[in-house]
Structure 1
Amino acid sequence: ELAGKFAIGRRNLERRFKKATCNTIAEYMQRVKVEAAKKSFENSRKNITEVMYEVGYSDNKAFRTVFKKITGMSPLDYRNRYKKEAEVA
């Protein structure tokens, strides 16, 4: 879809995007979703499933796997760690 808007081939767009961002388009989208999830954990009392759906995931395992790959901790660990830091502050 994006390639069509820029009138270039899909593969060409993917190469240019990776060169500019050091991420594939899919990796970039995952990072954006994880950042949105982190903000939601930090600023709301929503549970993990609610946040997962809010940021665009429908598979709990996929969400946990991507979240852990990017942040180094599970969504539950992240939420609990942030919650403890907020209580101390």
Structure 2
Amino acid sequence: MSIAYLSSLVAVGRRNFDRRFIKTTDNTAIEYAQRVKIESPQKALKSTRKTINEVMYEVGYSEAKAFREVFRKITGMAPIDYKTKYNKEAVVS
């Protein structure tokens, strides 16, 4: 879904949509979408024994570097560090 499509759904211009979205969420629409998309891997890394690559592919990332960069931007940690810190049952190899 593009930002232009979303703005057309609510019948406002792209710039107006961007301003309203930022005012409401303190994030751009893209930043917000990334935050929502990273919530699922956070939960999976905390509570499952899945590998980082398995989690990454499940949420739709195909490039590990892009996933790591967005994950770090949102959480402040690399996925492996996040898993090590929050998933005490998982054995990280």
Q: Same fold (TM over 0.5)?
A: yes
Unaligned regions of 5+ residues in structure 2, if any?
A: none
Cα drift, residue 33 of structure 1: 1.4
Deviations 1:31-87 (A, max 9, x none): 111111101112222111111121222211011011112211100111111122x58
- Matching residue of 1:9: 13
Cα drift, residue 8 of structure 1: 1.1
Share of identical aligned residues, percent?
A: 57
Unaligned regions of 5+ residues in structure 1, if any?
A: none
Deviations 1:13-33 (A, max 9, x none): 111100110000010011111
Larger helix percent: 1
- Matching residue of 1:75: 79
Aligned to 1:35, which of 31, 34, 39?
39
Q: Which amino acid aligns with 1:83?
A: N
Aligned to 2:70, which of 63, 66, 74?
66
Number of equivalenced pairs? 86
> How far apart, CA to CA, are the structure 2 residues paired with 1:20 and 1:41?
29
Do the aligned partners of 2:35 and 2:74 also contact (CA within 8 Å) in 1? yes
Q: Which amino acid aligns with 2:67?
A: F
Using structure 1 for the length normalisation, give the TM-score.
0.86
